[in-house]
Structure 1
């Protein structure tokens, strides 16, 4: 699914009006009607008080359409106009006149804090937030911030139209009190990037996209900077297996890492290489890793360094398809030298995680030695060491794009809604949950991506597919384990379930037969 920018949304609206020969007012009617339909389907005429707060721009116009349809369908509606400027959009004014034609209870005008001090909203009520949309380009007035704080104080369910009011669509939040906290946001035609970033996603608990009939050709042909990656996007990537294939067909992954007390990281990554479908896996560790690996994971082949506790040399005679390096590696001075010498000699595709990233951050000249399309999988702190600090999440993405472009690498920003950055493009993963916030799951992801490259997936395919499978495994597992009890080994076991889910058909509703 494409994630359109603010400018692309405006262009889609304009082109739709032109090609479908409709006015902006008609498109607003269509959008507001979709919001009403969503509410009506769920409420079925229930007489819960609904409080619709409308700004004086196009988002407010959408809110007036919703309020008008609620009124004409017999709902208990209170409508308010948040009079925050002298400028009113044409479509707002048209819909203001229309709502006055269907009710004697005209919208209440709010111009200062005193105007809403005696409004009674109870916790069981519903607030529809239609104050500001994506066009907001100025600070929110102090009295409007007080209104948003009033929303929060009521604890009423808050439904935001298109975007929580006050939340910028293309930059970070400067004043948290100037943003509505929505229980649910209904976004027109496309999700907004702010739904997926740690600093801004918290302003809506849930979101949903409503189709308002934007021109299909425009939606299909327009290239976006960001894309949401779910099942529909990864299914075409999947490579089915031929009947007469064998283990050599699916490649040989090498996992390099481990140090005294951290052999488990190599074990998890190596297991993941095979669990995702690679034909063979070899682990390269210090001597202390030999017995644990041969005992815990007999399917792996093991090569060891001469040193008992750390890697002092990375030297092997095998010919792997791909190498995953860094898990549990440590940053001993001898290990750093070994890592540098390895990079100078290596010609194989690389997946780098954990201490491999930390060594690159300590010695940034090594970044120039990375093969093109090397995959880096940092968590936020590792990313900060690589690219420096950032002002907000949008600044983080811009700095990561510049870094990825400079070194011709793929960067996987791990976290909720893991984002893959490559060639000025952002790929937002749709799977995963807080159950992955546990030690070792990053090692599992390294092994998954390594194992997919071993099988012949290109670097970007392996990254997107690997991140999806990793998250989907956790999504399936929470039904059995809950968030708190998932451990990294469980995620490996769930890879098979994530594969099976790719081809699972949605359940059809049962129709009762009469007779």
Structure 2
């Protein structure tokens, strides 16, 4: 799914009005009606008080359309206008007149500085936030902030229209008290990038996209900087197997890592490489890892370094398809020297994780030696060592883009919504869960991505697909183990089920079944 920027959304609205021969007011009517339909389907006329707070721009206009439809369908609605400026949008004014024609209870005008004592909101009520939209470019004033805090204190269910008020689409929040904390956000046509970033995702617990009929050609043809990755985006990447294929067709992964006490990381990565479909896997480890790997993973081949406890001399007589480097490696001085010598001669595709990243951060000149489209898989601290501290999530993304462009590498930012960064493009993953916050989960990911590259997937496709499979396998494992008991080995065990799930049809919801019954 494409994630459109604020500027692209404005352009899409404009082109839609032109190509469909409708006015911007008609498009607003369409958007507000879609929100009403969403609410009406769930509430079915329930007489819970609904407090609709509208700004005086287009987001407020959407709120007025919604309020009008709620009123005409018999809901218990109280509408408010947050009147803190003389700059009212044309479509807001048109819908302000329209709502006055359907009710004697005109919207309550709340001018800046007004007393809030007459506004009574109970925990069982519903708040609709239609105050500020995507056009916000400065923090709300203190009076509006106080209103938002009153909403939060009420504990009433809060539904935001398009984006929680006070949240920007393209920059960080200055004051968290100036943003609405929404239980649910209905986003028009496309989610917003801020729904997926650690510092801003907390402002909406859940979100959903509503189709408001933006021009299809525009949506299909417009290139976006951000893409949301789900099953439907990764399914076209999948490479089916030929009936007469053999193990040599699916590549040879080398997992190069391990040190005394950390051979398990190599075991996990190697098992995951097999689990993702690699034909052959060789583990390159210090001598101390030989017996444990040969006995615990009989499918893998093992090559050992001359040293007992760490890697000091990377030398092997095979030609792997890809090398997953760094898991459990350690950063001993001898290992650092071996890594540098290896990079000076290596032409094999690389996936670098863990201590491989730490070695790069200690001597950043080594980044220039990486093959094109090497995949770096840092968690936040490893990224910080590579690019320095960042001021906020947007600054972090810019630093990751700079790193990607400077060295032509793929940077995978691991997190709740892992983001693959390549050049100026961001690919946001949608699978995974908090149970993955466990030792070895990253090693498994390194193995999965390496296994995909070995099978012939391009590095970017392997990263996007690998992150999806990794998260989906963990989601499947969650059903049996829960968040607390999920371990990295469980993720490996369900990679196969994650593949199978790609071809399962989505189960029909009760809501969809009900709609079909009505249509029938």
| TM-score between both structures, scaled by the size of structure 2 | 0.97
What SS does the aligned partner of 1:133 have? coil
Equivalent residue number for residue 284 of structure 1: 284
Equivalent residue number for residue 350 of structure 2: 350
**CA distance, structure 1, for counterparts of residue 115 and residue 37 of structure 2:** 30
What SS does the aligned partner of 1:93 have? helix
Please state how far the C-alpha of 1:112 moved relative to its aligned partner. 3.5
What SS does the aligned partner of 2:485 have? coil
Deviations 1:200-228 (A, max 9, x none): 01100000000000000000000000000
Q: Decide whether the 8 Å contact of 2:343 with 2:369 is kept in 1.
A: yes
Please list, as runs of the form range in 1=range in 2, the aligned pairs for 1:474-493 lying within 5 A after superposition: 474-493=474-493
Q: Decide whether the 8 Å contact of 1:265 with 1:440 is kept in 2.
A: yes
Unaligned runs of 5+ in 2: none
Deviations 1:126-149 (A, max 9, x none): 000000000011221100000000
Equivalent residue number for residue 321 of structure 2: 321
Equivalent residue number for residue 424 of structure 1: 424
Equivalent residue number for residue 28 of structure 1: 28
Please list, as runs of the form range in 1=range in 2, the aligned pairs for 1:396-415 lying within 5 A after superposition: 396-415=396-415
Please list, as runs of the form range in 1=range in 2, the aligned pairs for 1:209-228 lying within 5 A after superposition: 209-228=209-228
**CA distance, structure 1, for counterparts of residue 110 and residue 293 of structure 2:** 69
- Of 51-60 and 106-115, more deviation after overlay is shown by 106-115
What SS does the aligned partner of 1:116 have? coil
Equivalent residue number for residue 453 of structure 1: 453
**CA distance, structure 2, for counterparts of residue 112 and residue 4 of structure 1:** 33
Please state how far the C-alpha of 1:177 moved relative to its aligned partner. 0.3
Unaligned runs of 5+ in 1: none
**CA distance, structure 2, for counterparts of residue 296 and residue 207 of structure 1:** 44
Considering only aligned residues, what root-mean-square deviation do their CA atoms show, in Å? 1.2
Equivalent residue number for residue 246 of structure 2: 246
Q: Decide whether the 8 Å contact of 2:139 with 2:174 is kept in 1.
A: no
Q: Decide whether the 8 Å contact of 1:272 with 1:448 is kept in 2.
A: yes
- Does 2:257 match 1:257? yes
Q: Decide whether the 8 Å contact of 1:305 with 1:314 is kept in 2.
A: yes
What SS does the aligned partner of 1:351 have? strand
**CA distance, structure 1, for counterparts of residue 144 and residue 478 of structure 2:** 40
Please list, as runs of the form range in 1=range in 2, the aligned pairs for 1:354-393 lying within 5 A after superposition: 354-393=354-393
**CA distance, structure 2, for counterparts of residue 82 and residue 358 of structure 1:** 51
What SS does the aligned partner of 1:137 have? coil
Deviations 1:65-96 (A, max 9, x none): 00000000000000000112121111111111
Deviations 1:233-292 (A, max 9, x none): 111100000011111110100000001111110000000010110001000001111111
Equivalent residue number for residue 434 of structure 2: 434
Deviations 1:1-44 (A, max 9, x none): 00000000000000000000111100000000000000000000
Please state how far the C-alpha of 1:295 moved relative to its aligned partner. 1.6
Equivalent residue number for residue 4 of structure 1: 4
**CA distance, structure 1, for counterparts of residue 390 and residue 111 of structure 2:** 37
**CA distance, structure 2, for counterparts of residue 259 and residue 142 of structure 1:** 56
Please list, as runs of the form range in 1=range in 2, the aligned pairs for 1:18-417 lying within 5 A after superposition: 18-417=18-417
Deviations 1:415-449 (A, max 9, x none): 01100001211001111111111110000000000
**CA distance, structure 1, for counterparts of residue 203 and residue 404 of structure 2:** 29
**CA distance, structure 1, for counterparts of residue 395 and residue 328 of structure 2:** 30
Q: Decide whether the 8 Å contact of 2:412 with 2:418 is kept in 1.
A: yes
Deviations 1:160-180 (A, max 9, x none): 000000000110111000000
**CA distance, structure 2, for counterparts of residue 76 and residue 233 of structure 1:** 42
Equivalent residue number for residue 504 of structure 2: 504
Please state how far the C-alpha of 1:117 moved relative to its aligned partner. 2.4
**CA distance, structure 2, for counterparts of residue 272 and residue 285 of structure 1:** 17
What SS does the aligned partner of 1:483 have? helix
Q: Decide whether the 8 Å contact of 2:271 with 2:297 is kept in 1.
A: yes
**CA distance, structure 2, for counterparts of residue 283 and residue 502 of structure 1:** 29
Q: Work out the number of aligned pairs and report it.
A: 513
Please state how far the C-alpha of 1:484 moved relative to its aligned partner. 1.3
Q: Decide whether the 8 Å contact of 1:322 with 1:350 is kept in 2.
A: yes
What SS does the aligned partner of 1:80 have? strand
